[in-house]
Chains A and B, each alone.
Chain A
């Protein structure tokens, strides 16, 4: 149960970063940390103590395998995380080119 609570703490750290930081790159980093904590949570849920990796091989029975379903979900989510990260960073550098800063509040002030 400790590991679940710890990964929830990691999610809270990420949420804190998104809420309090004013730097666009820091906001992207905080979002990445939130994503990581959720991947970790899903992978933790599927684990069986003493289980094997879900790959059939000689001498491994199908009975004691960890759950392959959360792993497949997280596999797709990791790639989506990379894609959204690249998109966010692109928007951030375009904003930097237009306004000359990464500060959200100054970007708000310099409308237009």
Chain B
């Protein structure tokens, strides 16, 4: 199953790369995608059946808008902190507890947090995620968990789990 999913994805990638409809290119693409699924299929997603569930794509599109908005907000926030003459920063590393189970959802959450300016995911150890933050709002775990990962976590749960 996962091999088949990788086969489809790599074949689509090949067609986008070549962008031609001549028969030689199409047959060569089949061969290349087959080789890819033989070599790397074992290490792809464990349950690839999620690719054909349409409601996940719906939430993905909504999540893209939410992520863009949060990104713009965080950009202005960091720009304000940098341009302010007294530089009001309070950096530190917080430990956030994760509610997501699947490894890929955790990876995506970590990447979303890293791509938002001001926060960088340092590592994931067990069920905890260590995040470096440019301005620590509060020391209370419930408060900062909501502030760091609560914005994305529900959507990612709906998309990837």
Asked whether any CB of A lies within 8 Å of a CB of B in the complex, the reply is no
A contact set with B: CB distance below 8 Å: none
